[in-house]
Amino acid sequence: MNLGCMAKILRAKVQKNKDVSLKNGIFVRINPNLNHMLIVLKLLGSIALLIFGMKVMSEALQKMAGPQLRHLLGSMTKNRFSGVATGALVTVAVQSSAATTVMTVSFVNAALLTLSQAISVIMGANIGTTLSAWIMSAGFSFNVTNIVWPAFVVGIILIQLGKHRYIGDFLFGLSFLLFALGMLKATGVEMDLASKPAVVDFFASFQTNYGTILLFLLIGTILTAMVQSSAALMAITMVLCATGAITIYQGIALVMGENIGTTVTANLAAMSANTQARRTAMAHLLFNVFGVIWVLIFFFPFVRMVCSIVGMDPTAAEQNATQLSFALATFHTCFNVINTAVLIWFIPQIEKFVCLIIKPKKTDEEDEFRLQYIRSGIMKTPELSVFQAQKEIAVFGEKMQRMFGLVKELYVTADEKAFDALFERIKKGEEMSDQMENEIGKYLGEVGDAHLSDETKAKIRGMLRSISELESLGDSNFNLARILKRKRDQKITFNNQLEAGVQEMFSLIDTALNRMNLALGGHKEDISIDYCMEAEKNINACRNRLKQMNVEKLDHGAYSYDEGNIFSDLIGECEQTGDYIINVAESRLGPSPTKNAPEA
């Protein structure tokens, strides 16, 4: 036997023996455990890189078009169909359904979208996210490294130049994503799971029946909820299918589970939000669960239909890796498109159902921030917009009166837990007043950009002053609550005379608030500013009388200085509250022609 034949035989043995490698003419035995560990690390590293690439790409897109996308989300949701289109467009743009759903939940939390609008947007987001699956399948169909390196070079140049940094960040994220897909594909080939008897026997033990489908659906749900990235799980599923480890039926079951697991992101984001936002997140979960249920009912015929679209036989022993990846992407698209086409007609019913499931907390309905008359959207006419804004300001005034009612309740509450709960509600009310001023102010600013008459411009100026004074009224209510908390912490109790003075002042403020809200909610011609001024004068007169009484009682030692100080602060803040009330009335009705100079 010559040396050439011997070399051929040795090389053949090396190829058969995976534990032996030929390096520089020397046979080296490879530790199989080390080799397996390296493959696992490559797999985990590829997944980490994939998630990082998606994150960088999504954040760069959001930075490039964030304000425009937020405007689009708020303005193009007039009906269920435009809402679906908006959700799909925004998700395609940011390449993250999680980003769209979290943004939608935050919009509902800020009362910029109604629950029904949000449901339609989320349906669209589910359609938009299917583009990610097609990007994955494209990555498995050709050598993506051919375009990765040029993209890296262009991306780093744009980042260093600074002028087009976000485009560079996007290219960098896309490069990482494609590079990770290439690594996943190569790692899948290196794993060669189809030739591992133990792996083949393990997955072969799962018969193609509903029990197996439900098991893989559960696995997909849990893994997606843990990883918080349906795109990463989609890539892993494609690798497992392409290497022959799992069948197309099991892969599609994992994809169904990914659709449920991805809803965890929005539900986590909504945990600390208001009732409407929690309902939005629940609607997202129900949408995907419903889709999974109807697919399970028609599972095997539906999978055969999807496979026929890409020209593959799901029962064939040998499968083409590219066809498998395209079959998974096709299923993902069909699942979400058909689900949306069915459920879009039942948005009102979904809204009622989630409202039935998630009940508001006892104080949520009256305490949470929600604009009732102003809706984000394309402006109709400036006059109508001004009218809607005035109705919203009237609601603002009513909320501030209810907030003062909580202050009165706080004053007479003895129980410590009840006191703390009321104090937190008042604090939340003060935060709500800041939000209302901000949102109504922005809305009026948008109206003010249109061509308006001098009369309408004057109305808007008055409204802007109204919301500013109402926000100050919210601050004043919170200041009263803090004074009462100080009173409780110092264990101070008022005698009958001081008690009567506080109750008198509270009653006068109530009267002033009633007249203010009458002015805000009614026709300007039906109420006189002097009617509101009378309440303000009574508050000032009461303040002067009580302060004088307080000084005299302190001089005679009728009670301690601490008691007198708390009483003086409380009465002074009440008078300041009265000032804000009359300012709101004046911004609506105009100043009194007989108004005297301000009292000292």
In a domain, 485, yes or no: yes
Q: Quickly count helices (H) and strands (E) in the chain.
A: 24, 2
CATH number (domain holding residue 569): 1.20.58.220
Q: Which residues pair with 21 in a beta bridge?
A: 28
pLDDT digits (tens, 9 = 90+) for 85-129: 877 877 766 656 666 776 676 667 655 677 788 888 888 888 887
What is the pLDDT confidence band of residue 311, given thresholds at 50, 70 and 90? confident
| Residues 393 and 245 occupy one common structural domain | no
**Which pLDDT value is given to residue 23?**
45
The total domain count for the chain is 3
Q: How far is CA 206 from CA 130, 213, 299, 416, in A?
A: 28, 9, 17, 60
Last residue of a domain, one of 357, 386, 421: 357
| Residues 234 and 248 occupy one common structural domain | yes
| Residues 477 and 338 occupy one common structural domain | no
SS3 31: coil
SS3 28: strand
pLDDT digits (tens, 9 = 90+) for 190-227: 666 556 666 556 666 666 778 888 888 888 888 777 76
Locate 458 and state its tokens.
């004057």
| Residues 13 and 46 occupy one common structural domain | no
In a domain, 137, yes or no: yes
In a domain, 324, yes or no: yes
In a domain, 597, yes or no: no
Whether the pLDDT of residue 599 is over 50: the answer is no
Task: Name the amino acid, one letter, at 262.
Answer: T
Average pLDDT of the residues of the chain: 77
| Residues 21 and 106 occupy one common structural domain | no
Task: Name the amino acid, one letter, at 116.
Answer: S
Q: Please count the CA atoms within 13 angstroms of the CA of 15 that sit on its side-chain side.
A: 6
For residue 224, report the phi and psi dihedrals to the nearest 5 degrees. -65, -40
- Rounded to whole angstroms, how far apart are CA atoms 532 and 540? 13
Domain span at 250? 34-357
SS3 259: helix
Last residue of a domain, one of 357, 387, 406: 357
What is the pLDDT confidence band of residue 403, given thresholds at 50, 70 and 90? very high
- CA 332 to chain centroid, in Å, comes to 24
- Residues 40 and 170: beta-carbon distance below 8 Å: no
In a domain, 166, yes or no: yes
In a domain, 595, yes or no: no
Locate 116 and state its tokens.
């029904």
| Residues 126 and 179 occupy one common structural domain | yes
Burial class (CB in 10 A: 0-12, 13-18, 19+), 177: buried
Q: What is the pTM of this model?
A: 0.55
What is the pLDDT confidence band of residue 166, given thresholds at 50, 70 and 90? confident
| Residues 25 and 38 occupy one common structural domain | no
Higher per-residue pLDDT: 367 or 308: 308
In a domain, 101, yes or no: yes
| Residues 517 and 562 occupy one common structural domain | yes
Provide the angle, in degrees to the nearest 10, between the axes of the packed helices 529-555 and 561-589: 170
| Residues 322 and 261 occupy one common structural domain | yes
What is the pLDDT confidence band of residue 160, given thresholds at 50, 70 and 90? confident
| Residues 391 and 536 occupy one common structural domain | yes
Last residue of a domain, one of 357, 380, 400: 357
In a domain, 67, yes or no: yes
Q: How far is CA 220 from CA 144, 332, 577, in A?
A: 26, 14, 57
| Residues 21 and 56 occupy one common structural domain | no
| Residues 520 and 396 occupy one common structural domain | yes
